[in-house]
Amino acid sequence: MRILVGIPEKGSQGGPSACEPPFIDELRRLGHEVVEEVYAYAETQSGLATRAGRVLRTARRFKERLREGNFDLVHINTSFDTKALLRDAVIVPRIYSRGPKVFLKIHGSDARLLATNNPAWSMLRRRLLSQADAIGVLSTEERANFLRAGVPEQKVFVVKNVVERSIEERNAKFLQRWNLPDDRPLLLFIARFIPAKGLVDVIRACGLLRDRGQQFQLLCLGDGPARSEAETEVKHLDLNGCVRFFGYIPEEQTAGFYANSTVLLFPTYHYEGFPMAIFNAAAAGLPIITTRIRAAADYLKEPDNCLWVEARNGEALAGSIIKLLSDSALRMNMRVRNRALAAALSAEAVADEYIDAYQRII
């Protein structure tokens, strides 16, 4: 097959930047010709005119690519939210008119947008979804949402992200390099800092841990609009000695943090698709505390892989942390089972499923 793939620009944060390169490499290893073209851009502050011009230039580039080569399929990495819908409703019809099949891989979807009766959004939604030959979603919950929105069942595929297996192990040199303690549990939060990811809830839970005499160090990796609120909460709770903010760490440098941490905390209530933080943690054999949402609900089981926690519930989160930290056998069982889970999400296994879907729509 000859496939044109729309990918984020280099330096973008988020799931597609992490999971798409090994997937593309595996397609090529299997003998398929893959051409990459930038479809989405790193999040920057820019005006409406700048963003509109960028969308039109992207549409033009894709049309030129399609004119130059005889592609069987266009695989676009996108999401389903208001910004992405405005962009996709402009670009996808121009791709669709050129002839190849269009496969939209949805990295997270807003169920409210699928259910809205607003005439403008409903029109854009219908236009986009009617001109996609297939839609790949990352969880059974999302599939149900698209079916309720009227998308034909045969067009909606539940797909996976590639998870690369971690080869790093806990080591003293890593701890020394980052000046991390080796005498207390290391709690890891890694995500884009937006309110719905639950960072402030994690910090409030850490205040309860401290009050109950539990030793710990919280490692906060990432950046974003919720950072200021999170730092303010740390000061308010007098947790400065227990919490560290590392800022954005490039994806290729995060493996050591997963390998050297004690537990991943991810109490998200965002419209996740396939949260890479959860599955990268699994690849490192890291125990997980998270909410029962989207792909996490599909692939994780309690207590084999994780402990479930309610969103926005610092008290419950603190209780789950204490339970996990006090049970070494539970942590070891999660370590073994999470690594086994990640092995089933290898590039080889995932690529075969996509190729089957591609062949069915072509």
Bridge partner residues of 65 (DSSP) = none
| pLDDT of 306 | 98
pLDDT at site 361: 94
Residue 255 is given by DSSP the state H
Same fold, 2-162+346-361 and 172-343: yes
CA dihedral 280→283→289→294, nearest 10 degrees, is 60
CB 188 within 8 Å of CB 261: yes
- pLDDT of 22: 95
pLDDT at 71: 95
For residue range 41-98, what is the model confidence (pLDDT) as tens digits?
Answer: 876 667 788 888 999 999 999 999 999 888 999 999 999 999 999 999 999 998 877 7
Count the alpha carbons within 13 Å of 286 in the hemisphere toward its beta carbon: 35
Q: Are 285 and 338 in contact (CB under 8 A)?
A: yes
First to last CA, the chain: 10
Write out the two tokens for 18: 């992490």
Residue in 215, 180, 187 with CA at minimum distance from that of residue 203: 187
pLDDT value for 44: 60
Radius of gyration of the chain (CA): 21
The letter for the amino acid at 213 is G
Tell how far CA 170 is from the center of its chain.
24
Query: Is the Cα dihedral 194, 313, 269, 222 positive or negative?
Result: positive
Which residue, 139, 134, 25, 37, is CA-closest to 356? 134
And the tokens for 175? Answer: 């701890």
pLDDT score of 82: 95
pLDDT in the model for residue 45: 60
| CATH class, 2-162+346-361 region | alpha beta
Q: Please report, for the chain, the start and end positions of each structural domain, with discontinuous segments joined by +.
A: 2-162+346-361, 172-343
Which architecture does CATH list for 172-343?
Answer: 3-Layer(aba) Sandwich (3.40)
Give CA 73 to chain center in angstroms.
24
| pLDDT at res. 18 | 87
Distance CA 326, CA 322 (A): 6
Per-residue model confidence (pLDDT) at position 43: 64
Using 50 as the pLDDT threshold, list the residues of the chain that sit under it.
Answer: none
